[in-house]
Every structure is written in structure tokens, then in C-alpha cells.
Amino acid sequence: MKNFMLIFIGEDYADLNFSPEEMQRRMNSWKEWTEELVNSGIFVDGQGLLKNAKTLKSGPEDVHDGPYLDIKETVGGYYVVKVEDMDAAVEVAKNFPDFDLGSSVEVRECMPDEAG
């Protein structure tokens, strides 16, 4: 079994002007997905990220506001899941609840702690 990081990339929720009701519906689908991962023992860790961000570009003095300089998309959060291989991780990512918002998931294999 290996760890994979699912990185959630998309427009920030704050810019999507959801109504409270839509927000709650969205939360319910996220809860459902997460609970499924937890119950099947796949879920290792995860966190949502706040909107405020800084990027250090080319040196300690070069600090910019925001995650990237010119695109709207940001990393909204990540999950770490423990599965057999990349294919299985991609299967997990297929149920990501925010595809309808044009958001995407980047699946990355985590480097193992020790050799072998």
C-alpha cells in the first residue's frame, strides 16, 4: 500500500457566490465522500485551505499576494489516501464532488519514508 495525495484545484468558493443552501448541499456531498473513504480505511489525512496566501517567487524578498500570479485557480485542500497503486488512487479521485464547478484533482504519489 502506498500513500497518494489528492490535491484539489479550482476557483475559490468565495468567488462562486453560493447561497447558504447551496453551500450546505455541497458540504453534504463532501461529507458523504469523506465518510466513505474513512469507513473503508483509505483516508489517511486531509485539510481544507483558507483563501489567504502568499507566494515567494525568486528569493526571500520577492513576496507576492495570492497563490499564483495570474491564474484564478487555487489549491482548496488536499487528502492523503492509502491505496494499492496509482490506478486505485485515480478511482478514489473520480468521486471528487466539485467536478461540476470546473475544479480538478491532481493525484500524486507520496515519496515513501524509507527505501523498499
For other proteins, which stretch binds (CB under 8 A), given 10-18, 63-71, 80-88, 101-109?
10-18
d(CA 58, CA 53): 16
User: Which three cell numbers, joined as nine digits, stand for 48?
Assistant: 481544507
Which of 5, 7, 17 is closest to 44 using CA atoms?
5
For other proteins, which stretch binds (CB under 8 A), given 37-45, 60-68, 88-96, 107-115?
37-45
For other proteins, which stretch binds (CB under 8 A), given 33-41, 58-66, 80-88, 101-109?
33-41
Which burial class, exposed, middle or buried, applies to 98 when counting CB atoms under 10 A from its CB (0-12, 13-18, 19+)?
buried
Query: 71 to each of 59, 63, 66, 114, how far by Cα in Å?
Result: 21, 17, 10, 36
Nearer to other proteins, 57 or 94 (CB): 94
- Interface residue with other proteins, options 77, 88, 103, 108 (CB under 8 A): 77
Contacting positions for other proteins (CB under 8 A): 13-14, 17-24, 26-28, 30-31, 33-35, 38-39, 43, 46-51, 76-77
